[in-house]
Every structure is written in C-alpha cells, then in structure tokens.
C-alpha cells in the first residue's frame, strides 16, 4: 500500500488521492456523518478536499489520512493531524471523520491516539488540540479517551457560518 503515514493494531493511515473520490464523497456527503460540520460536501468540494489534503501532506507532512481497516480491507474513515490556528496561535490538531457503519467500534480513539503520540514523539509538539462542536458528544468522548481535557471555546467560521467549537488539549 502506497502513502502509508502510520499503522496501528487495526488501521493503516494512508494518504488520499483522487482515486479515493468515491469513498470520500460517500462519507463527506452523508448528512449524519457531517452533522457537526453543518453541511455536506458537493462533488466539487470533495475534489477540493482531496487537493487540500495533498497540499498539506507536502507542506506539513500530515493532514487527514484515509483510515484502512487491515482485517476488513476497507476504508473506515479519515483520521489525521491538522494545522490549526485559534485566536492567532498555531497548533497541531487531531481530527476524525468515520463512515457511519464504523461508528462505536473504537477506531477514532485508536487512530486519534496514534496521531497524538506521533505529534508528540516525532513532530516534537508540546500541545495537541481538537476543536469540536459542543453537540458532537461522540467526538468529545474520543478526545477525552485519548487524554485531552476541555480548556475553552471559540467561534470559528465554517462554510461561511460562525460556529462555536470547544477546545480540547493534551500536553506532552
């Protein structure tokens, strides 16, 4: 498998490409999956998303990666590290978007924990954050399971709308 970023017990996190459009569009165009974002993606936005992730791989060495289940031999979602900026300060963040049929199986916790460990050990980050919509209880639980604590909130513009996000943080 090409473009492998990280491997866990059950998952391979690999770079996405335009060949992954079908699975990504299924995920990013699902209202239930994207409810906390407040919108679903158009086909054009999915192509742009793939391009932006590839730009981030080149620029930072990380972004959202496709999460591939080694036993099922299928994509279960996207998990990765993200360049974040909150109130003028830059951070490394973790993010996870899972296909609905893979919710509740511990994949987000496994992948996010591995990404956080990578940020601390390999990238030398002293702080890793996650910004999460208050109503996204599942994502909040994942952040807490990987050792993050809620430290505040801020308003973020998402698709042209101001949305409150909680800030979770872990320190090395």
Q: Give residue-wise pLDDT tens across range 68-119.
A: 999 999 999 999 999 999 889 999 999 999 999 999 999 999 999 999 999 9
Element (H, E) at 142: helix 137-145
Q: What are phi and psi of 30, to 5 degrees?
A: -95, 120
Give residue 2's pLDDT band: very low, low, confident or very high (50, 70, 90): confident
Residue 35 pLDDT exceeds 90: no
Furthest CA-CA distance within the chain: 42
pLDDT, average across residues 51-62: 96
pLDDT for position 133: 94
Q: Which residues contact 18 (CB under 8 A, 6 or more apart)?
A: 47, 50
**What is the pLDDT of the chain when averaged over all its residues?**
95
pTM, two decimals, is: 0.92
Instruction: Give me the residue spans of the domains in the chain.
Output: 4-171
pLDDT for position 168: 98
CATH (one of 3.40.630.30, 3.90.180.10, 3.30.70.260, 2.50.20.10) for 4-171: 3.40.630.30
């Amino acid at each position: 498998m090409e473009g492998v970023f990280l491997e866990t017990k059950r998952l391979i996190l690999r770079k996405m490409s335009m060949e992954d459009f079908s699975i990504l569009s299924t995920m990013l165009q699902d209202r239930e999956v994207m409810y906390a974002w407040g919108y679903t993606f158009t086909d054009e936005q999915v192509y742009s998303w793939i391009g932006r992730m590839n730009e981030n791989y080149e620029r930072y060495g990380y972004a959202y990666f496709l999460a591939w289940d080694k036993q099922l031999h299928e994509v279960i979602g996207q998990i990765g590290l993200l360049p974040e900026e909150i109130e003028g300060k830059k951070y490394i963040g973790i993010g996870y978007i899972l296909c609905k049929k893979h919710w509740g199986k511990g994949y987000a916790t496994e992948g996010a924990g591995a990404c956080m460990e990578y940020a601390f050990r390999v990238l030398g980050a002293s702080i890793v954050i996650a910004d999460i919509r208050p109503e996204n209880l599942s994502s909040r639980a994942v952040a807490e399971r990987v050792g993050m604590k809620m430290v505040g909130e801020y308003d973020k513009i998402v698709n042209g709308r101001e949305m409150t996000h909680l800030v979770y943080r872990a320190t090395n």
